Amino acid sequence: MAKIAMKTPLVEMDGDEMTRVLWVWVKDKLLLPYVDLKTEYFDLGMKHRDDTDDQVTMDAAEANKRLGVSVKCATITPNEERVREYTLKKQWKSPNGTIRAALDGTVFRKPILVPNITPSVASWKKPIIVGRHAYGDVYKNAEIRVPGPGKGELVFTGADGKVERVVIQEFKGAGILQGIHNTDKSIRSFAKACFNYALDQKLDMWFATKDTISKTYDQTFKLLFEDEFTAYADRFKAAGIEYFYTLIDDVVARIVKGEGGMLWACKNYDGDVMSDMVASAFGSLAMMTSVLVSPDGIFEYEAAHGTVQKHYYKHLKGEKTSSNSMALIFAWTGALRKRGELDGLPELAAFADRLEAASLKTITDGVMTGDLARLANPPARQVVGSEEFLDAIAERLRS
């Protein structure tokens, strides 16, 4: 059988630890037998980032802008321990942070649902998709550890020299100060990315901030979303979906009681926290897909989980692991499907559908890794190791 051809290469960003091990197996067992895979390869493994002074991450982000679609493995964000473990030159920044800043996008995280894994929240019937603004706020902040009494101020100096000054706090003793920002441009593209996603997937869209307390910062998010929505209102009506704005605490209460089935647009920090809550309540971090969409139509597909360090250390000792590669597989299928759509290659998109179906069938057949076996109802028929799980998918993909 001839392999499926590709036109434009994908940007392939390799990563670290257990996910790096799984990456090779996913390619060898599930992709290379069927697809004449074209990629521009970037090694974002910890060692190579250090060797290149992190230039490789910047190069990968640039390639992503040039070629449009990338697929990324999980990578270590170094802390003190990692600096010692890998004898790094310094504590390099998070590669995800670098790529998000370069693409100024919105991250959409969607759980992968299977009937034999029931969500922890009994009322959830449909996926909850979290759309996370991936720019600014506390992720690009300036902070001061206030040593003692004094005045904390917020100062803005306009390009015309005009100064605006607000007192934050008169400190009587030690404390902390933080300055955060966002831009109209980024907030508007966040709004557009979410409205487009909701229309594309025919989903209601919910958005929330704390505008009653933050009367300028959060209120601006609310107002800019309202303004952007005017261009979408007719299309939303025609699609039978709605845009719903409320307060962040109200939305949390509603989400937990509802049945799901909406896009939940979240500010950067809300999205960081809530996407992990939603992922673990739907089952496992490994059952969550993640795509970064930039305002100019650039896509980065990744797994939402980390490098599964504990499993990797077991793997290195020759012990059996049971790591779930679903999120990595869905990162590849997401990227291949998008490439297929953009390049007019329906057979490539159809292959992505088939691979996803084979992966889901494996789990619904009762063959699963340990993380899912803990939650399965009815119980798993067969709890398999990391590599066996991929073999079980490969078998179903063949037939």
Contact footprint for ligand NAP (CB under 6 A): 74-77, 96, 285-286, 302, 305-310, 323-324, 369, 371
Closest CA to 41 of 16, 59, 17: 59
175, two tokens: 């404390």
Could you give the angle at which helices 346-364 and 386-398 cross, rounded to 10 degrees? Answer: 120
The answer to whether the beta carbons of residues 331 and 302 sit under 8 Å apart is yes
The interface partner of residue 276, options being Mg ion, ligand NAP, none and the CB cut-off 5 to 8 Å by kind, is Mg ion
Only segment of 220-228, 270-278, 286-294, 301-309 that touches Mg ion (CB under 5 A): 270-278
40, 137, 276, 343: which one contacts Mg ion (CB under 5 A)? 276
179 vs 379 by CB, closer to ligand NAP = 379
Q: How far is the CB of 393 from ligand NAP (least distance, A)?
A: 14
CA atoms of 125 and 142, how far apart (whole Å): 41
Minimum CB separation from ligand NAP for residue 15, in Å? 6
380 binds, among ligand NAP, Mg ion, none (CB under 5 to 8 A by kind): none
Which of the stretches 88-96, 198-206, 274-282, 295-303 binds Mg ion when contact is defined by CB under 5 A? Answer: 274-282
Cβ 264 to ligand NAP shortest distance, Å? 20
Site stretch for Mg ion (CB under 5 A), options 115-123, 141-149, 272-280, 349-357: 272-280
Q: How many residues bind Mg ion (CB under 5 A)?
A: 2
Residue 201 to residues 39, 88, 261, 346, 349: CA-CA distances in angstroms?
Answer: 28, 43, 10, 19, 17
Cα(317)–Cα(309) distance, rounded to whole angstroms?
A: 13
Q: Is the Cα dihedral 297, 278, 273, 10 positive or negative? A: negative
Of 14, 272, 371, 387, the residue at the interface with Mg ion (CB under 5 A) is 272
Q: How far apart are CA 290 and CA 127, in angstroms?
A: 13
Among residues 85 and 170, whose Cβ is nearest to ligand NAP? 85
What is the rounded end-to-end Cα distance, in angstroms, of the chain? 14
Instruction: Detail the DSSP E strand segments found in the chain.
Output: 10-14, 39-43, 69-72, 106-111, 128-133, 142-146, 150-157, 163-171, 175-179, 204-209, 243-247, 262-266, 288-293, 299-303, 367-368, 382-383
Cβ closest to Mg ion, residue 109 vs residue 311: 109
Question: For residue 39, what are the β-bridge partners?
Answer: 10
Query: Residue 308 touches which of ligand NAP, Mg ion, none (CB < 5 to 8 A by kind)?
Result: ligand NAP
Binding partner selected for residue 75 from ligand NAP, Mg ion, none, CB under the kind-specific 5 to 8 Å limit: ligand NAP
Q: Is 175 in contact with 169 (CB distance < 8 Å)? A: yes
Residue 272 binds which of ligand NAP, Mg ion, none (CB < 5-8 A, kind-dependent): Mg ion
Closest CA to 376 of 308, 327, 305, 324: 324
Residue 286 contact partner, candidates ligand NAP, Mg ion, none, CB within 5 to 8 A by sort of partner: ligand NAP
Binding partner of residue 306 among Mg ion, ligand NAP, none, CB under 5 to 8 Å per kind?
ligand NAP
* Residues contributing to the site for Mg ion (CB under 5 A): 272, 276
